[in-house]
């Protein structure tokens, strides 16, 4: 079943605050083969926070996404500044576009990642292909 096109524009609640630690930065850097810097996260680290917002999207029964029918088609980040140890971040996801092509829903999202004080740190964009 196709997703409701009226979902385009929907914004989800922000994720719970995420405390960025030196340990988590080091673990992520090691996992992706990035040179270690315990204070500054690799440029792809925002996926850790953005994925929490994406999980809420996929778990929402009103959306109707079935994880087993999803292919991650695209991911990109636009950063205002590096994520650093000590940051406390949240992500808020919005469905930017939803279109239906050849039996597949193409869902484009943007997760704005901010500090709990409201400073914009990064936007994470993702495109999902969902065979409904």
Beta-ladder partners of 77: 124
Q: How far apart are CA 94 and CA 15, in angstroms?
A: 12
Q: What is the mean predicted confidence (pLDDT) over 100-127?
A: 96
CA distance 114 to 16: 12
Neighbours of 78 (CB within 10 A): 12
* pLDDT at site 132: 72
| Tens of pLDDT, residues 34-81 | 887 779 999 999 999 999 999 988 888 888 888 888 998 899 999 999
Comparing CA positions, the residue from 98, 94, 90, 97 lying closest to residue 121 is 90
Q: Which domains does the chain have, with CATH numbers?
A: 5-131 (3.10.129.10)
Percent of the chain topping pLDDT 70:
99
Which uninterrupted H or E stretch holds 91? Answer: strand 88-101
pLDDT at 95: 95
């Amino acid at each position: 079943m196709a997703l409701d096109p009226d979902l385009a524009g929907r914004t989800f609640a922000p994720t719970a605050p995420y405390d960025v630690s030196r340990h988590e930065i080091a673990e992520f850097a090691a996992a992706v083969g990035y040179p270690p810097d315990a204070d500054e996260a690799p440029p792809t680290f925002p996926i850790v926070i953005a994925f929490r917002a994406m999980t809420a999207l996929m778990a929402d029964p009103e959306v109707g996404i079935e994880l087993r029918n999803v292919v991650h088609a695209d991911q990109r980040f636009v950063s205002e500044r590096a994520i650093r140890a000590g940051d406390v971040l949240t992500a808020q996801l919005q469905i930017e576009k939803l279109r239906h092509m050849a039996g597949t829903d193409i869902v484009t999202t943007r997760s704005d990642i901010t500090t709990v004080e409201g400073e914009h740190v990064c936007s994470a964009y993702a495109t999902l292909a969902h065979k409904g």
